[in-house]
Structure 1
Amino acid sequence: MRLRRILERFRRFIGRDARDAPGAGSRDACSFIIDPFTDNWEEDEKNGQSVSVSTIRKACQRMGEATTKRDLLGVIACEVGIFDLHDLEVMNARFKRKVADLPENYRDRLLESVREEIFGAHHRLILLSRNGGGPELDAPPNPALRAYCAMVAEACAEKAREKDPRYLYLKYLLSAFTMFVMEEPAHPVGTPFPGGQIVDEWEGTYLCPVRDKANDVAFALCPYCPAVQSKEPTYPEMRARRYERRKRECLANYWTNYKG
C-alpha cells in the first residue's frame, strides 16, 4: 500500500533509532500527523447538522477564487461559523482517542501541539475576522490555494461515502486559515515527530523534517504547507547549534572583510 511505504520512509528518516516504544508505533504516529483523512472511529454524537458535499464544494470554489487574504479570511470565517465550541472539543477528543496508545511522554507533547492547531487557530481566526487585520491582508494568497481547495472538496466528497465529512471539513478550514492567511505551517512550531524531530522556525523560515515525504498521500496538508523541507535534523537542540554556527560565520566574515 502506497501510504504504508511512505510511512516506512518516514520512520527511517526521522527516527533516532528503529525501535518502536510500547503501544502504537512511529508509523502510526506519523500517519496521525500527516493524514487528516485517516479516521477509523465511529461517528460521535454532535449538536450541529451535517454539512453536505455540495455546500463544501461551493465554499471551496469561493475560497479558491479569493484574490486577497482578506477575502479568503471572510469566506473561511463564514464557513467556520456553522461550527461551535462543541465541534472543536469533539475534534480534540477524537484525536486524543487516536493517539491513546502512543508513549505517554510523546503523546502529551503531541496533544499540546494539536490543541494549539485546533483551539489556537480558531481563536486567532475569530479575532482577526472581527478586528479586520492590517494591510497585510490585502496581499494575494499563495497560488497553491486553488489546488488546496480542490483537494479539500475531493477529500470531503470521498469521506462522505463513509460518514459525515463535517469534522474533516472543519480541520481543512482551520488549516486553510493557518497556511494561507497566516502563512504558517499547518502543524505549529514545536510539533514533535517520532524520533525527536520537530517543526521548527529559523531566521523567518519554517522547517519540517517530513515536508517532502508526504506528496503521495492523497489528502495530506504537506504539499500546501509554507514550511520547507529541512536540510538537516530538526531536533530541539539543533537551534542552539545553528545559532553557534551562524555566530562563527559572522565572526569569520568580520575578520575576512573588515580586519583583513
Structure 2
Amino acid sequence: MHSSNEGEEYTAERIQAIANRLAAARTKGDLVALLVHELENYSLFDLQIIGGRLNSEIEKLPSPYREAVRPYFRAQLFDRHHQILTLHRSGGSRHLATLPLRDPDLFSRFCTMVPEGCFAWNDTSERNPYFRNPKNRLFYYLIAAFTMFVLDEPGHPAGMPFPGGFSVEKRADGWYCLIRDKEKDVFYSICNFCPAKQADDPVRQANRVR
C-alpha cells in the first residue's frame, strides 16, 4: 500500500504499462483480477484524498444541483470500489472467468485512451469530476472499466442528474442517455465507452428511472 497521493510515482510510463496489462484481458474475470491488482495499490489515505478532492469539486457546483448530484458522484466511485473488492475477495468473480468482454474492440480503445487521459487537465465538464493528478485520474478510469466492461452498466449511475434536468435512464431494452454523444470531442471522457445508447427523446428523463 502507498502512503502518498502526490502522483510522482504514477509516471506516464507506469500508466502506459498498466493500460497494456489491462488491454490483455479477454474475459470479465481477467479484467476483475487486473483491476483489483491496481486498486489494491490505493491506500486508505489515498482514498481519503480522492474523496476530499471529489467533495471540493462538488462544492463548486451550483445549488441545488450540487446537493442532488453529490450522492451519485460518490456512488460512482466509492460504491463501485467497494463492490469490486468485495466481489474479488469473496470469490464471487469466479463465475466471470469465462464471460467475454462485451466489446473487445471498444475496450481496447478505452485502454489506449487511458494513458493520455490521465494527464488531460482541461476538463471543465460538470458531468465528469476530474483530479489534476494522474494517480487519482487512473483510479477514476479503473472504476469506470469495472462498471462499463464487467458490470456492463453506464459509467454514470442511473438517475444521476445532469445539468438541464436529464439523467441516465434504464429502459426495458437497455440504458439510454440524452447527452452521451455530446462528449464525442472529449477524447478522455468515459461517455465515449459507455454501454448506454444515445436517447432521442428530448423530454426530461429523471422521473422515468426505476
What's the TM-score once normalised by structure 1's chain length? Answer: 0.68
SS at match of 2:59: coil
The 1:71–1:104 alpha-carbon spacing in structure 2 relative to 1, beyond 3 Å, is same
Q: Is the 8 A contact 1:125 1:177 kept in 2?
A: yes
C-alpha separation between the residues in 1 aligned to 2:97 and 2:149? Answer: 10
Alignment partner of 2:114 out of 127, 131, 152: 152
The 1:234–1:62 alpha-carbon spacing in structure 2 relative to 1, beyond 3 Å, is farther
Alignment-derived partner of residue 127 in structure 2: none
Residues 1:133 and 2:93 aligned together: yes
* Cα deviation digits, residues 97-126 of structure 1 (max 9, x gap): 223243332111211101101111101110
Unmatched runs of 5 consecutive residues or more in structure 1: 1-44, 241-260
- State the Cα distance separating 1:202 from its structure 2 match: 1.0
Aligned residue pairs total 193
- State the Cα distance separating 1:127 from its structure 2 match: 1.1
The 1:179–1:137 alpha-carbon spacing in structure 2 relative to 1, beyond 3 Å, is farther
Runs of 4+ aligned residues of structure 1 deviating over 6 Å after TM superposition are none
Q: Is the 8 A contact 2:7 2:134 kept in 1?
A: no
Higher relative contact order (CA 8 A, sep 6+): 1
Matches within 5 A, 1:19-168: 46=5, 50-130=9-89, 131-141=91-101, 142-143=103-104, 144-157=106-119, 164-168=133-137
- State the Cα distance separating 1:204 from its structure 2 match: 4.6
Alignment partner of 1:218 out of 180, 187, 199: 187
C-alpha separation between the residues in 2 aligned to 1:84 and 1:51? Answer: 14
Unmatched runs of 5 consecutive residues or more in structure 2: 122-131
Q: Is the 8 A contact 1:63 1:75 kept in 2?
A: yes
Q: Is the 8 A contact 1:179 1:225 kept in 2?
A: yes
SS at match of 2:65: helix
Bigger radius of gyration among the two = 1
SS at match of 1:82: coil
Bigger drift between 50-59 and 210-219 goes to: 50-59
Structure richer in helix, relative to its length: 1
Q: Is the 8 A contact 2:161 2:206 kept in 1?
A: no
Residues 1:192 and 2:161 aligned together: yes
